[in-house]
A = this chain, B = another copy of it.
Amino acid sequence: MTTASPPRTRGGRPRDPRVDDAVGEAVLELLGEQGWRALTVAQVAERAGVGRASIYRRWTTKEAMIAHAWRASTAEARLDAVDTGSFAADLRALVHRATEVNERPVIRRALPHLLAAAADQPELTPTVVEVTIGQMLPVAEAVERAKARGEVDPAIDTAALLDHIFAPLVIRTLVEGRPRTTEEVDRHLDLVLAAFTTTGARRPPP
């Protein structure tokens, strides 16, 4: 789904797709500049050169508007697959790149608020799930390849393993409010590889 529910088109002027784009861009800009609290629909409308009514015609709440813009932005930032033949190498490459993506201000500032909004408005949950799963997809593929190669026990549930890979990083960022350093990510991956792979591969000494 890339647009905001283009509903019945029976007569009348069609919706201007430039509005969707302009709103999305404005939301991301303002989120990055000022954070979630300071972001108002009126401001978005002004920045986008759009009427407020045109926004409410597309999304029922401010949160839905932001969620849509956020999803649209992550779609283009999706990680490319990486296949080096080694699970450890794949994992390090993918997780380091995912960490970079999550450091973009708009993501870092929006994610906690989107989780909170979804807690109150269950209709936002699919969006949150979709984005988080989307980000883990290339890693899931690497895990499957690792199972095929015998690097990972096939009895281990892939989803559970993905959580062990990502959740500790995400939760620390959420709680401590600062991104993980490269070194911290590497140490985390050391432990993951030691605990969940048959080789217990550690990173090569520098």
Contact = CB atoms under 8 A, between A and B. Distances in A.
A115 B118 contact: no
In the A-B complex, list the 3 residue pairs whose CB atoms are closest, starting with the nearest. Answer: A163-B168, A167-B167, A195-B195
Interface string A119-137: 1101001001100100000
B125 A177 contact: yes
Interface residues of A, number: 37
B120 A37 contact: yes
B188 A160 contact: yes
A1 interface: no
Determine the main DSSP class of A at the interface with B: helix
Nearest to A196: B195
Interface string A74-115: 000000000000000000000000000000000011001101
A15 interface: no
A149 interface: no
* Most-contacted residue by chain B among A119, A122, A128, A172 (CB, 10 A): A119
Contacts of A109: 119-120
Number of copies: 4
Given A168-B160, A191-B160, A176 B36 contact: no
A122 B109 CA distance: 12
A170 interface: yes
A171 B128 CA distance: 12
Given A115-B116, A164-B164, A170-B171, A176 B37 contact: no
A109 to B, nearest CB: 6
B175 A35 contact: no
A70 to B, nearest CB: 14
Nearest to A110: B119
B171 A167 contact: yes
A79 B140 CA distance: 35
A176 B119 contact: no
Nearest to A184: B160
Contacts of A187: 157, 160
